[in-house]
Amino acid sequence: MEWAGWALQFLALLFVFMIGVAMLAALAFFIIDRRQTEDAIRRNYPVIGRFRHLFSELGEFFRQYFFAMDREELPFNRAQREWVHRASGGMGNTVAFGSTRNIGVAGTPIFVNAAFPPLDDQFAATEAMVIGPTAREPFVAQSIFNISGMSYGAISRPAVEALSKGAAKAGIWMNTGEGGLSPYHLKGGCDLVFQIGTAKYGVRDMAGNLDSDKLREVAAHPQVRMFEIKLAQGAKPGKGGILPAAKVNAEIAQIRGIVRGQDSLSPNRHVEVDDFGDLLDFVQKIREITGKPVGFKTVVGGEDAMRDLFKLIAERGEDAAPDFITLDGGEGGTGAAPMPLIDLVGMPVREALPLLSNLRSEYGLNDRIRLIASGKLVNPGDVAWALAAGADFVTSARGFMFSLGCIQALKCNRNTCPTGITTHDPRFQKGLVVNTKAEKVAHYANSITKEVEMIAHSVGVSEPRQIRRRHVRLVQPNGISVPMNELFPSYIHQTIP
């Protein structure tokens, strides 16, 4: 058993060695912590103070998986994410025993079921809707629920491909985001909305001005069905994006029309659009060049500015109107934005959408301008509420990110997304299998539509867009629900009893 003795001696020496290394490391960290001047905790409590930062980092993980209840987390709770997970997997979304939702929370929408709903063979079915009836090539949109803007660059190549293929399977449109039209958007064969951001990526000259020839080239793609001028997004209204030089590789530079290896700064607004008159001129210019429907995306800060827009449209005539307005709420998301803008700027969509819908009705533009709602609308109840408030369509980015497998790791602004969705690191991208995820995207979109139609059927209408504010009750702080049309009266209800 001599070998056993040697083994014990070796293990003892190894243990002593490891203790020595640990002590030397602790001494080194002690000296470093005492000398550094940035962190008072580490300076006052060398070595031990480092655990505070470690526990803060781990706290996010433990809260998400062990301590938070199903309805507690932000920006999206576990119940919301689990619904998308099951829907994108093609699994049933029936639950047992009762709802875990606290319907006493102020603002909770409760849909008013019909006393005598239609029979099952009279199911509410979504109808196609025309956008841009006066354009040379109007767009007949088939789905009420579509993919919001996510740029190639902000999300990865396999994520864009999966969304494109999934959108084609489900018959929905996909917004390119402001990063230009990539081959990966086209690869799936879906309908596309080309977003023109403030930097005009993909349709710009090297000085950042709109290039009409490049715009015509984009419009020549039959898959590109509409153009959206991005004025603002909910997560950072009034703030342009920054694409760091490290991300501007040869492919990104070519797609966006910028210089490789240099920071690319997006202006905080379109430099040629100083007022609503300029905006309507810009809309008309793009519509004339492309022949396709043109609208804009914005965030409402108050009623006065939007009323000025509709007054101007009334003066110029319906032909000057945008074909659609995409309304993003202040609760909208992004990969990276300053916290004050994310938290504090822009009206939430649940307040802004009824306001904008009323203005459209007041000026008699319901059939001319389509309203597209966006901003944290990821479940059937969210979509049905938006339709009741006045939207014609709903778009979502984060909902479709969940369908791709997003786990809300909150690392979108880094290059370390563990699911491969918002990273360009091949190590993480290999986990996102395009064909598999495309199926999940399609399942999610189809499930939303099916369950919104189910809500419409329950309230007694034959098409989801026929859901009205009177079909929704909103819970008040005292726990009593009030009809939505009393809290947000429509323009029609104000004038015709």
3-class DSSP state of 327: strand
Q: Which of 96-110, 115-129, 157-171, 380-394 has the lowest mean pLDDT?
A: 96-110
Q: Per-residue pLDDT tens for 421-465?
A: 877 677 777 777 888 889 989 998 999 999 999 999 999 999 999
Q: Which two tokens stand for residue 479?
A: 């726990």
- Cis geometry, peptide bond prior to residue 109 (ω within 30 degrees of 0): no
pLDDT at 47: 78
Could you write out the DSSP letters of every residue in 162-208? Answer: HHHHHHHHHT-EEE--TT---HHHHHT--EEEEEE-TT-TTSB-TTS
Q: Per-residue pLDDT tens for 5-50?
A: 676 777 777 777 788 888 888 788 788 877 877 666 676 768 777 7
Q: Is residue 496's pLDDT more than 50?
A: no
Chain-centroid distance of CA 349 in Å reads 13
Distances (CA, A) of 326 to 149, 213, 450: 11, 26, 23
- Whose structure tokens read 């300029």? 278
**What mean pLDDT is predicted for residues 130-155?**
93
Q: Per-residue pLDDT tens for 296-337?
A: 999 888 889 899 999 999 999 999 999 999 998 756 555 555
Cβ neighbour number for residue 111 with a 10 Å cutoff: 18
Q: Report the range out of 235-249, 252-266, 342-356 with the highest average pLDDT.
A: 252-266
Q: Is residue 264's pLDDT more than 80?
A: no
Please answer whether residues 165 and 188 qualify as being in contact, where contact means their C-beta atoms are separated by less than 8 angstroms.
Answer: yes
pLDDT at 58: 55
Euclidean distance between CA atoms 447 and 88, whole angstroms: 8
Distances (CA, A) of 414 to 155, 175, 177: 11, 23, 19
Q: Report the range out of 53-57, 123-127, 221-225 with the highest average pLDDT.
A: 221-225
Please answer whether residues 421 and 156 qualify as being in contact, where contact means their C-beta atoms are separated by less than 8 angstroms.
Answer: yes
Please answer whether residues 238 and 268 qualify as being in contact, where contact means their C-beta atoms are separated by less than 8 angstroms.
Answer: yes
Torsion of CA 294, 299, 305, 306, to 10 degrees: 50
Q: Which two tokens stand for residue 295?
A: 């609208």
Q: Which of 72-81, 179-188, 364-373, 383-392 has the lowest mean pLDDT?
A: 72-81
pLDDT at 403: 86
Euclidean distance between CA atoms 244 and 266, whole angstroms: 11
141: part of which helix (H) or strand (E)? strand 139-141
**What mean pLDDT is predicted for residues 49-67?**
59
- Cβ-in-10-Å burial (0-12, 13-18, 19+) of 211 comes to middle
pLDDT at 409: 64
Q: Which of 58-67, 98-107, 344-353, 454-463 has the lowest mean pLDDT?
A: 58-67
Q: Which two tokens stand for residue 343?
A: 């938290």
Q: Count how many residues are written for the chain.
A: 497
Return the closest-CA partner of residue 294 out of 405, 210, 214, 369.
369
What is the CATH code of the structural domain delimited by 122-495?
3.20.20.70
Residues 6+ apart with CB under 8 A from 128: 140, 141, 142
Please answer whether residues 330 and 299 qualify as being in contact, where contact means their C-beta atoms are separated by less than 8 angstroms.
Answer: yes
pLDDT at 18: 84
pLDDT at 492: 67
pLDDT at 4: 66
Phi, psi of 289 (to 5 degrees): -70, -45
458: part of which helix (H) or strand (E)? helix 434-459
Please answer whether residues 141 and 128 qualify as being in contact, where contact means their C-beta atoms are separated by less than 8 angstroms.
Answer: yes
Please answer whether residues 419 and 407 qualify as being in contact, where contact means their C-beta atoms are separated by less than 8 angstroms.
Answer: yes
Euclidean distance between CA atoms 410 and 57, whole angstroms: 12
Taking the chain, what is the end-to-end CA distance rounded to the nearest angstrom?
100
